[in-house]
Amino acid sequence: MDRDLVEQAQRGDRNAFAILAQTHGDQLMRIAQRILRDVGRAEDAVQQTLVVAWRELPALRDPDRFDAWLQRLLVNASYGEARRWRTWSANVRVLPVDGPGGGDETLSLDNRDRLERGFRRLAPDQRAMLVFTHYLGLAPAEIADRLGIPVGTARSRLHYAHRAMRAAIEADDRPAAVAGGPSR
Amino acid sequence: MTDQRELDRLLGAFFVEGTNELPDRVLDATLEEVDRTPQRRVTRMPWRFPAMNTYARFVAAAALGVLVIGGALYLGGLRQTGDDQSPTPTASATTSANPSQSAQPHAAVYVFTQGAGTAAECGNSTQGGCISRLWVANLDGTGARELIPNQSGCQRFQAWSPDGTRLLFSRSECRWEDHSPDGFVGMTGPERFYLTDASGGAPQVVDTGCVSPCLYEDDAVFSADGLRILFVRTKSVPVSPSASPDPVTGKPAEGTEVTVLASIDLATGRVSELGAFGESGRCGSEWPRSSCPSWSPDRTQIVFTVAAQIVGPEPPKDPAVFVADADGRNVHQVSAFGQGPAWSPDGARILFQGIQYSWTGTWFPGKVVRSSSDIYTVRADGTDLRQLTTDGVSYGPAWSAAGRIWFIRPTVVDGIVQDDGTVQYWVMDAEGSHATQLSGRPPEQAWLLQPTP
């Protein structure tokens, strides 16, 4: 079904693309929010992804790879969002995340806090590796294929991401803030 | 020790939480945007080379060869007419801190590097992050290397000397900024100016005597004769003990920051404060440096950016470009959008990175915002605005001494901006024509180019 819709959209059929956007939108949102840890920025990334997908769709050679291609666009859009945020972080304010407060009860508040802090310190490409591995359940070779990176690179990013998260879990409580004036 | 199985379990549980649906308002806004967005036109070859017969292949190959050779000769001719290209890419940038080579001009690259933090520079070993370091490369972009690899800390480019043989930069210790949403490594402690030759040899502190009430100094530039350095000093003016505490933090009032224009004579070390500097001219805590002021060639004016707010309850504002006299007076806006402005070598035009934010429908907090970045020039009086690139992703423009424009463009494959470090150097004429990709590959996350004068 997707292949037919993709081919129609490639020929300029906006209705076909709207169906594709509705079909894939929730999954894109789930991935983006987990990489960026911010609903507003995830919405930005998804919108950019879908608009770029529409614009560049005629250049997609294999319609069967639409899903993987879309996720690759999303990851790149998420990188851009993360970088934009990082660059301008001195001038922005945080919007609250409105995700559900529940979750797996086996994850203690303490561990959740440590994981959150550790995850926010990761580079965007390492975050994407963790989300694709532990949320989508993909193997490094599959992730490499989707993101268009060498398998070795995927494994390396995953290794360092795991190491950083392990260290975050095991770290003693650290001071909440570092003394000093505003960064410049 | 957390074993892999336990880590897998924790991460699995961690990612269960979160938003699971794309809001209808975002999908609607996206489809509205799609309605306004034309699709890229793709030209597919009507034939494939291997499917042709031998004669047709020969003819096609010969025609292709003529095109390639002709193109190479044409480009070679172009390069010989410009002075942005090194006649022969020298090895000077890849070799040596040999002072005897210090007169060889280099192209400097100001680098924003992600994930390069080390334990020594960025806190404990669990912390990655971003540190800014200076890199140099040959004028064709090849031979990129760190300028002073054995100096720790965060470095920021300040200015080239007028003859291109010396480079002024600032350095401080790096610090993990833990209360940022993503976290990043910022600069901490005293940030001091350093002067080095163009090969990075023997960096020396330029002692400007910044002690209390001096807070910090920034935005330095050489005087036109190269004998002095002009810079902006920020000082703290004490307030009355009876002043009200900060309404947000409740902490006692700490004083008011004021900025003054100052200079140091490089021969005698004498520092002079030349007078008040317009508050609106400060780049303040904006980061990276591409937000900060640039001086006119005659040092009588500055061009600067008033930074944007891109996330928050208010609608995003494009960063705007302003010009003022060096004393901060006669402020006037020259562009409603843009950052990283720089004066042309002849002082006639101002180059900047145009950043524009857009959204559909009525603004509300959390609205999806898109951004684009292209290269522009405008006259110093705000007239004759010219858009030089249209790809929406070009950034980091800088003038060369010959009046051409260097800039950075990320690699785009299948419509996807590659974010694996594969950005490219480009150079074009001041009118935006003859854009040529340079052969060298910049280091990871190159952020701002600063060619030698």
Please, are residues A57 and B63 in contact by the beta-carbon 8 Å criterion? no
Contact flag A178-B370 (C-beta cutoff 8 Å): no
Is the confidence at residue A105, as pLDDT, over 60?
no
According to the model, what pLDDT value does residue B365 have?
A: 59
Of the listed ranges A153-162, B69-78, B272-281, the least confidently predicted one is B69-78
Count other C-beta atoms under 10 Å from residue B252's C-beta.
12
Q: How far is A152 from chain B (nearest CA, A)?
A: 14
- CB of B415 within 8 A of CB of A56? yes
Q: Domain locations in chain B?
A: 207-277
Task: Give me B309's structure tokens.
Answer: 């707010």
SS (H, E, C) chain A: CHHHHHHHHHCCCHHHHHHHHHHHHHHHHHHHHHHHCCHHHHHHHHHHHHHHHHHHHHHCCCHHHHHHHHHHHHHHHHHHHHHHHHHCHHHCCCCCCCCCCCCCCCCCHHHHHHHHHHHHHCCHHHHHHHHHHHHCCCCHHHHHHHHCCCHHHHHHHHHHHHHHHHHHHHCCCCCCCCCCCCCC
Gap between the Cα atoms of B281 and B273, Å rounded = 17
Answer with the residue of higher pLDDT: B84 or B262. B262
pLDDT of residue B430: 93
At B358 the pLDDT is 72
**Per-residue pLDDT band at B100 (split at 50, 70, 90):** very low
Residue B4 C-alpha, separation from nearest chain A C-alpha, in angstroms: 9
CA quadruple A142, A146, A152, A157: dihedral positive or negative? negative
Among the partner-chain residues B27, B35, B187, the one whose CB lies closest to the CB of A14 is: B35
**Could you tell me which residues come within 8 angstroms of residue B134 by beta carbon, excluding any fewer than 6 positions away?**
B108, B109, B110, B111, B146, B147, B148, B155, B156, B157, B167, B169, B200
Contact (Cβ atoms closer than 8 angstroms) between residue B205 and residue B221? no
- Averaged pLDDT for residues A95-103: 33
Helix, coil or strand: residue B397: strand
Average pLDDT of the residues in B297-314: 67
Cβ-defined contact of A43 to B186 (cutoff 8 Å) = no
For testing contact with chain A, the best of B22, B113, B175 (most A CBs within 10 A): B22
* CB contacts, 8 Å: B286 with chain A: 90-91
Q: How far apart are CA B166 and CA B397, in angstroms?
A: 21
Q: Do B22 and A46 touch (CB under 8 A)?
A: yes
Contacts of B310 in chain A (CB under 8 A): 84, 88, 91-92
Compare CB distances from B187 to A112, A168, A184 and report the shortest one's residue: A184
Alpha carbon distances (Å) from B385 to A102, B234, B350, B432 = 53, 33, 10, 12
Greater confidence (B446 vs A114) lies with: A114
Q: Does the pLDDT at position A133 exceed 60?
A: yes
Residues in chain A with CB shorter than 8 Å from the CB of B155 are: none
ipTM score: 0.79
Residue B392 pLDDT exceeds 50: yes
Q: Is A154 on the interface with B (CB under 8 A)?
A: no
Please indicate whether residue B68 or residue B197 has the higher confidence score (pLDDT). Answer: B197
Asked if A134 and B14 come within 8 Å (Cβ–Cβ), the reply is yes
State the pLDDT at residue B193: 94
Asked if the model's pLDDT at residue B289 lies above 60, the reply is no
Question: What's the CA gap between B257 and B213, in Å, rounded?
Answer: 10
| Contacting residues of A for B22, CB less than 8 Å apart | 25-26, 28-29, 43, 46
By C-alpha distance, the chain B residue nearest A111 is B10
* Per-residue pLDDT, B416: 64
SS3 B30: helix
- Predicted confidence at residue B76, as pLDDT, reads 41
Whole-angstrom CA distances from A51 to A30, A95, A147, B162, B391 are 18, 24, 19, 46, 15
* pTM summary value: 0.51
- Same fold for the pair A1-89 and A106-176: no
- A41-55, B128-142, B208-222, B419-433: the lowest-pLDDT one: B128-142
Average pLDDT of chain B, as a whole number? 68
- pLDDT per residue as tens digits for the range B346-389: 899 999 988 777 766 666 655 556 677 899 999 999 999 999 99
Per residue in B361-372, pLDDT tens? 666 655 556 677
Question: CATH fold of A106-176, please?
Answer: Arc Repressor Mutant, subunit A (1.10.10)
Are B74 and B418 within 8 A, CB to CB? no
Tell me yes or no: is domain A1-89 CATH 1.10.10.2520.
no
Residue B26 has pLDDT above 80, yes or no: yes
Residues contacting B305, CB < 8 A, separation 6+: B283, B286, B291, B292, B319, B320, B321, B322, B338, B339, B340, B341, B352
- Asked which of A121-125, B122-126, B241-245 is least confident by mean pLDDT, the reply is B122-126
Q: What is the pLDDT of residue B307?
A: 57
Token duo for residue B138 = 């040959």
| Continuous segment of H or E residues that includes residue B68 | helix B54-81
Task: Average the pLDDT over B56-83 and give the result.
Answer: 44
Inspect the interface and report whether the beta carbons of B13 and A38 lie closer than 8 Å: no
Question: Are the C-beta atoms of residues B269 and B207 closer than 8 Å to each other?
Answer: yes
Euclidean distance between CA atoms B309 and B313, whole angstroms: 10
Question: Is the pLDDT confidence value at B344 over 80?
Answer: yes
Q: Which residues pair with residue B302 across a beta bridge?
A: B295, B324
Report whether B261 contacts B274 (CB < 8 A): yes
Residue A19 has pLDDT above 90, yes or no: yes
The closest of A82, A174, A22, A45 to B21, measured between CA atoms, is A22
Alpha-carbon gap, residue B81 to B342, rounded angstroms: 24
B188-192: long-range contacts (C-beta < 8 A, 24 or more apart)? B188/A178, B188/A180, B188/A181, B188/A183, B189/A180, B190/B216, B191/A184, B191/B156, B191/B216, B191/B217, B191/B218
Q: Tokens for A154?
A: 């995927």
Pairing of strands B228-237, B256-265: antiparallel
Nearest-neighbour CA in chain B from A4: distance (Å): 18
The pair of structure tokens assigned to B54 is 């031998």
Question: Residues near B270 by Cβ (< 8 Å), separated by ≥ 6?
Answer: B264
pLDDT at A120 over 70: yes
Q: What angle do CA B296, B298, B299 make, to 5 degrees?
A: 60
Q: What is the DSSP string of B169-182?
A: EEEEEEEEETTSSS
